[in-house]
Amino acid sequence: MGAALAVKLFGAPLLIGLASLAGRRWGPALAGLVGGLPVIAGPIVAALWLERGQPFAQAAATALPGGLWAVSAHLCCFGLIGRRAGWAAGLLVGWCAFAACAWGLSLTGLTRDPRSAASGLLALWLASRLLPQPRGPVPVLGLPRFELLARMAAALGLVLGLTALAGRLGPALAGVWAVFPVAGSVLPAFTLARAGSEAMLAQLHGMLAGLSGLGLCFLILSATMEPLGWFAFVPALIGALAMGGGLLWWRQRGARQ
């Protein structure tokens, strides 16, 4: 239990801090990429494994990629609504869209179908087509220490709430809710408030690339968790980095041409 609590208290907040610092150094697109990778879902699944055992965590990891439909709906709504009505309205509509998709996926049993999980990657592609591209170069802004701590505190609160609900949700729904857009709420909301809609759109597109890596990560993890145990995280994370980084590079290369 002590190790699970440590994952909750330090894993997600530190990784959100890392994504924020990457944005301060290299811009919002790279911050989005880091935030889209399994920086939140990975610690949540690890905590579930420590608290509830490998079968529960494996069922959650299997259901998780299907939840990309729900997180794609959130990011689209946040980007389209937030750029016109502000970050608070974007979050409200985005969270409602996520919740509706998550419950729909769970009630229909689609999260238990491997084909539905793989199709979550298609949802990310559709979201990238629906979101407008940023116009022109996006400036790199500084990050005050207070804002960095506020982002990490917001991530901690969301992760504690999600893991507390996991037992009531069951493994399939817990897997879908493990991709609740913690990074997809904290990072773009702060970016929109401080840097404007163009920076927010660049970050969301970077996040969609990172989420593609997340989807591949958990497809690998769910297939290798039983034979490899904790070592299954090694090929899963390598696949996530290769997929997310390669896709962001390819999109940015295409945008420059």
Region 140-151: what's the mean pLDDT?
71
Q: What is the mean pLDDT of the chain?
A: 77
Counting other chains too, the contacts that 28-31 makes at CB distance below 8 Å and 24 or more residues apart are 28/138, 28/140, 28/191, 28/195, 28/199, 28/200, 28/202, 28/203, 28/206, 29/138, 29/202, 29/203, 29/205, 29/206, 29/248, 29/252, 30/206, 30/248, 31/187, 31/191, 31/203, 31/206
When comparing pLDDT for 239 and 90, which is higher?
A: 90
Which tens digit of pLDDT belongs to each residue from 54-100?
A: 888 887 777 777 778 888 999 999 999 999 999 999 999 999 999 88
256, pLDDT greater than 70: no
pLDDT at 2 over 60: no
CA distance 133 to 5: 39
The reported pLDDT for the residue numbered 246 is 77
* pLDDT of the residue at 103: 80
| Across 36-42, average pLDDT | 72
Buried b (16+ CB within 10 A) or exposed e, 48-64: bbbbbebebbbbbbbbb
Rounded CA separation 28/208 (Å): 13
Greater confidence (59 vs 140) lies with 59
Residue spans of the domains in the chain: they are 2-256
List, as one string, the DSSP characters of 45-63.
Answer: HHHHHHHH-HHHHHHHHHH
- For residue 82, the model assigns a pLDDT of 92
- Of 47-51, 121-125, 187-191, 196-200, the range with the lowest mean pLDDT is 47-51
pLDDT at position 64: 75
pLDDT for the residue 4:
57
Residue predicted with more confidence, 57 or 40? 57
Tokens of 41: 């879902």
Question: At 113, is the pLDDT very low, low, confident or very high (cuts 50, 70, 90)?
Answer: low
pTM over 0.85: no
CA atoms of 73 and 185, how far apart (whole Å): 13
Residues 6+ apart with CB under 8 A from 137: none
